[in-house]
Amino acid sequence: MDYHRNYRPCPTFFVEEDYGMESRIRQERQAKQEHDKQMARERQYAMADELSNLTCEQLRDDVLSHMLEMDNQTLPDVESIDIQTEIQWFMRPYLLDFLIEAHTAFQLLPSTLFLAINLLDRYCSKRVVYKRHYQLVGCAALLIAAKYNDKKDRVPTIKELKSMCCSLYDDDMFTQMEWHVLQTLGWSIGHPTVDAFLQHAVLDDPYDPEVEHMALYILEIALFHRDFVAKLSSELARAALALSRCILNRPQPRHTHWSSQYDSTTLVALSQQLHQPSTVVARKYASPHYSRVSKVMEHFLQRQASLATYARCTPPVETPIDSKPYNGEIGLATPQKSQQLTAIPHGYLTPPITPDNEALVHAHAQMANHDLTRGMPTVHNGCSPSPAPSAEMQYMNSEAYQQQQEAMYMAQQAALQQFPLAPTHMGMSQTYQGGM
């Protein structure tokens, strides 16, 4: 009894249980708040996208006209680049390979690369560039394009660019060249790049990453060639998009669509430069991130080359005029014999075994008598020169045929009586033996 009276339960167990329930309730409340915040954020994003789409549809024509106007104003001058004293066009691929590798290393946007190349070409159109400063101008153009167009955390620093250039230039040289490029271009950097027009062209189409990656691959190949430096970005984007759809066997848009109004001359010029792309560009677009479009392009070109070779080696097949046409029956159509006679270089055609008519028999008899009167035996070498009988002529009956055979037999007997021949069991005639 004393034990039960003095016993007091320990409150520790109940306190720990209360603490566990409060912590669980607090976690559930926090999770609910995070879920509500996420849902509210997604609703805001959906509303923003809807408003953006509505605004884009209303202002799409105005935006496109402004882009086209800026595209004409920010084109480089190729003739001015031609008169550069030190830099030459064969140096351009080396600089572009360096800039593409730097652009890939910093994971910049595609538009940043095209904007940097535009700034580089526009600067070279207005200033004399020394050969030792060509790479420095390219780095300054890439730095300006990244600051203008890309994310802040991905903008390369001067130390990183200096390291990529193997410390060939000082830090101050990058800063001075950046300021000089901006001053030369009048601080006009807003050039509508080819990828901007490409996004505008595929705005109403279903998302197809392979087509877009193939178009970007073609456009980066075009950067290496002089013929496309002064081309409008809108023309290049539409031609590259149409060419990529042809390569990937995708349907072309309607004729009323803006992307269908491409220049066929530009498309053909782009297709002629696809056979020898830069190794850096081909390796870049062989990654899964770009749908391995460089491998797809390589297989397409190999298939086209094999088809062209087969077409040159295989002679054209001529169908006979009188042959029976194939009407879609199951199986192969039976080949028909040509009605025209082929020329035989050796020998003659097989003569008809049946004479044409009775007049032919008398003609043969007269020829035999003429030969006999000249004192020579009738020897038949080769075939009869008479043509083949036509289909309308009928064969002679058996009685006429028997009369013909008797007449020929009588002519041969008369000839043998006039010119007797010795037996030829020894291989020689008596006339020949007597002469010896």
**pLDDT tens, residue by residue, 102-155:** 999 999 999 999 999 999 999 999 999 899 999 999 999 999 999 998 888 889
The more confident residue out of 332 and 251 is 251
CB 259 within 8 A of CB 239: no
Q: pTM (2 decimals)? A: 0.60
Q: For the chain, give the mean pLDDT.
A: 75
- Distance, in Å, from the CA atom of 68 to the CA atom of 234, rounded to the nearest integer, reads 7
63 CB-contact burial (10 Å; exposed 0-12 / middle 13-18 / buried 19+): middle
What is the full DSSP assignment across 392-423?
A: TPPPP-HHHHHHHHHHHHHHHHHHHHHS----
Higher pLDDT, 399 or 149: 149
201 Cβ contact partners less than 8 Å away, ≥ 6 residues apart: 237, 238, 241, 258, 259
Predicted confidence at residue 121, as pLDDT, reads 93
If one counts every other C-beta atom within 10 angstroms of the C-beta of residue 71, the result is 19
Q: Is 155 in contact with 121 (CB distance < 8 Å)?
A: no
Selected residue with higher pLDDT from 432 and 138: 138
Residue 296 CB partners (closer than 8 Å, separation 6+): 210, 214, 247, 248
pLDDT band at 18 (very low <50, low <70, confident <90, very high): low
Q: What is the pLDDT of residue 199?
A: 87
**pLDDT number for residue 208:** 86
DSSP letter for each residue of 146-180: HHHHS-GGGPPPHHHHHHHTTT-S-HHHHHHHHHH
Calpha distance 431→294 (Å, rounded): 92
Tell me the pLDDT tens digit for each residue of 168-214: 888 899 999 999 999 999 898 888 989 889 888 887 778 888 999 99
* Degrees, nearest 5: CA angle 359-363-367: 170
pLDDT at 145: 93
Looking at residue 385, its pLDDT comes to 41
State residue 386's pLDDT score.
38
Element (H, E) at 3: helix 2-6
Per-residue pLDDT tens digits for 337-386? 444 444 434 433 334 444 444 444 454 455 545 444 444 444 444 444 43
Render pLDDT for 264-318 as a digit per residue (tens, 0 to 9). Answer: 888 899 988 888 888 999 999 999 888 899 999 888 888 888 887 776 666 655 5
Q: What is the pLDDT of residue 35?
A: 86
Predicted confidence at residue 26, as pLDDT, reads 83
